Amino acid sequence: MRFAAILFLISPLLFPKLTVGQNHPQGYFIAPLENKLLLAGNFAEIRSNHFHGGLDLRTEGREGKRVLAAAEGYVSRIKISASGYGKCLYITHPNGYTTVYGHLKILSGDIRKYCLKEQHRREKYEVDLIIDPGVLKVNQGDLVALSGNTGGSQAPHLHFEIRDGSSCPLNPLNFGFNIVDGIYPRYKKLVIYPMDDSSYVNGVSKPKKLATYRNGRKTTISSSVKILAKGNIGFGISFFDQMMGSGNIIDPYIVELLKDSTIIYQHKLDKFCFHETRYLNSHIDYHEKIKNGLKIHQCFVDPNNKLGIYSNMVNNGIVNFSKPGGQKFTYKITDHEGNTSVFNFEVFYDSTRTKFYNKTVKVDTAITTKPFAYNKRNMFKADDITVDMPANILYHNIDFEYKSTPKIETAYARTHHLHSKSIPLHSYFKLHIKTDVPDSLKSKACIVKLGYKDAPRYEGGSMMGNYISTNIRYFGKYTVMVDTVAPSIRALNIYPNKNLKNQRTVTFKIYDGLAGIRTYKATIDGKWFLMEYDAKYHRLTGYLNKALVAGKHDIKLYVVDKRGNRNEYNTQFFR
């Protein structure tokens, strides 16, 4: 199959602003920041393997902005993590909604005291605390935290969500927050997909390719470009939006595809639930996302795509071209302030070709193939590998491809090539690999996924006889390695016998090159010492207690990776 694509930018066009939004309480929630609301990220934007669960609110590039309770309620959950949302606060409200505040720098007042008490009681930095209603009550506008950059955040901002009673994220912009935006969404690419072996576009069905025809402020295709199609065809669109006062790229709210003035596809970003968010990988053109970084919304629905964002679907968005003449199409894209942009194009039935004009593809005789049905359990076995895939992991049927190649240096098994990394999977399946790792190293053995230049990524695993097994959820290249190297520890602002009288923190960098950090523990004079772990910077930070008595103190830190390799740091300091 081949993609035909049109690249263009458009202006505010002919269509008046629409009234958008849902029937949610207006004015019940106040903004969680005191400054003007500017978005760094929008609701349900496409992220890696998931939709974005809320709004990313700009904090002027700084940490320490006051974060306010959006309404009265009680703190129902505190989750502290080295990744993800970092320091995160959940407030449940009398109307049944819960607001979420992520990437925080520090919790405030009694909330912070409660969290610190639990961390010390459990002797853990990372905690997930579920809190009874009467313990930490808040009023609307109360200071609950300061904004930060913790967890997976790549720059200072506040992540803000509103969830319903089932903990499903809702679009916060439906609740009446004052967002001013007069910028219209802009199109980038139109993609046309032959959907099966008897369909093609401009005479080609395979391989899939993108072709850019035009660039400019146009809403129709140049008359010199004619798109010819035959068979079942799907369409995809790439676009972006911005809002006034913010340079960040955000995703619009509603996407519609019309054929001859009738809607055949619509998605609207009002709500999703976490159990369905990974279906995002079926919604987008996953191949183009991982290969070229292109974010293309496929405006047709795979058989096993269970996202709830679609409506007004005709034949799952797929159009058949089997009669002479042209069919007119219109894309309408609307942001949450009602700014609508349109794009008109026409596709003609191709009655001139009876054969496909595909390039000759070299056949790799080492590849074994087997049909896999998306709605059935699929198993594949070879001499030294077993793939066991439960039903409904695939989004559509595939012809599974497998081959093996000799083991690379440092590996203890052949390299197993499982289908194509450009095909997404919804959840995990079991992989068993035969290995020649010696008995003395079996506790250190692990399955790894080989990436660029065969760089290994740890996938875990447990040994049974000469086989190692683990759960994976990506196709690609896999083998077996051993990890016998202990994590590294580097002291950043402490050295033996240093006087820390005027120093507030103790910091370390910890790192493990393969398996990754499993746990760490620090003590001062034998007592547990709270150290905050920022996984993206591999950094541990501990805040010295002002009450620490003057004199000599012992500090110890040990770090263990996921294969049980351990390292320690011990020294003394003065206070």
| Domain stops at, among 175, 201, 216 | 175
548 is in which domain, residue-wise?
A: 488-574
Whether residue 188 is found in the same domain as residue 325? yes
DSSP symbol at 545: P
Residue keyed to tokens 């993590």: 81
Cβ neighbours, 10 Å, residue 254: 21
User: In this prediction, what percent of the chain has a pLDDT beyond 70?
Assistant: 91
Cβ atoms of residues 380 and 370 within 8 Å = yes
CA 414 to chain centre: 31
The H or E element that residue 77 is part of is strand 73-80
- Top pLDDT among 420 and 202 is at 420
> What's the pLDDT at 358?
53
Question: Do residues 76 and 168 both lie within one domain?
Answer: yes
Q: Report whether 47 contacts 40 (CB < 8 A).
A: no
**Residues 112 and 145 both lie in one domain:** yes
Domain boundary among 150, 175, 200: 175
> Is 21 inside a domain boundary?
no
Residue 302 lies inside a defined structural domain of this protein? yes
Element (H, E) at 78: strand 73-80
Q: Are both 104 and 169 inside the same structural domain?
A: yes
Nearest to 436 by CA among 403, 405, 414, 413: 413
Residues 171, 199 within the same domain = no
Supply the pLDDT for residue 2: 35
Residue 526: CB atoms within 10 Å: 8
372 within a domain of the structure (yes/no): yes
Q: Nearest to residue 395, comparing CAs of 317, 254, 280, 495? A: 280
Round to whole Å and give the CA distance between 457 and 315. Answer: 40
Q: Residue 518: which CATH number?
A: 2.60.40.1220
Q: Among 42-46, 110-114, 207-211, 267-271, which stretch is predicted with the lowest mean pLDDT?
A: 207-211
Report how many domains make up the chain.
4
Q: Are 450 and 456 in contact (CB under 8 A)?
A: yes
- Whether residue 191 lies inside any domain: the answer is yes
Same domain, 216 and 320: yes
Higher-confidence residue: 293 or 219? Answer: 293
CATH number reported for the structural domain that contains residue 401 in this entry: 2.60.220.30
> For residue 351, what are its two tokens?
């009655």
Q: Are residues 219 and 328 in the same domain?
A: yes
The DSSP annotation for 470-511 comes to EEE---EEEEEEE--PPPEEEESS--TTEE-TT--EEEEEEE
Angle at 279 between CA 278 and CA 283, to 5 degrees: 125
**Span 30-56, average pLDDT:** 93
In a domain, 265, yes or no: yes
d(CA 297, CA 168): 22
> Which pLDDT score is estimated for 216?
39
SS (H, E, C) 329-363: EEEEEECCCCCEEEEEEEEEECCCCCCCCCCCCCC
Q: Is 195 exposed, middle or buried (0-12, 13-18, 19+ CB in 10 A)?
A: middle
- Give the pLDDT confidence score for residue 220 in this predicted structure: 60
Residues 192 and 338 both lie in one domain: yes
Same domain, 54 and 170: yes
Q: CA–CA separation, 275 vs 426, rounded Å?
A: 10
* Alpha-carbon span 194 to 206, nearest angstrom: 9
Give the C-alpha separation, 337 to 184, whole Å: 9
Please tell me the distance from the alpha carbon of residue 518 to that of residue 269, in angstroms, as a whole number.
Answer: 37
Is 355 a member of any domain?
no
Q: Pick from 125, 153, 175: which residue ends a domain?
A: 175
Residue 26 lies in a domain: no
Does 5 score more than 80 pLDDT?
no
Check whether 221 has a pLDDT greater than 80: no
Please say whether the beta carbons of 344 and 261 come within 8 A.
Answer: no
pTM of the model: 0.91
Task: Indicate whether 65 and 120 sit together in one domain.
Answer: yes
Q: Which amino acid is at 318?
A: I
Helix intervals (H) in 358-412: none
Distance CA 394, CA 150 (A): 34
Confidence class for position 208, pLDDT limits 50, 70, 90 = very low
220 in a structural domain = yes
Do 413 and 551 belong together in one domain?
no
Structure-token pair, residue 337: 């302030």
- Kindly tell me if the per-residue pLDDT of 521 is higher than 70: yes
Same domain, yes or no: 212 and 334: yes
For residue 189, what is the enclosing H or E element?
Answer: strand 186-194
Query: Looking at per-residue confidence, does 482 or 184 come out higher?
Result: 482
**Which two three-digit tokens encode residue 363?**
């056949």
The predicted structure's pLDDT at residue 11: 35
Q: How far apart are CA 42 and CA 270, in angstroms?
A: 12
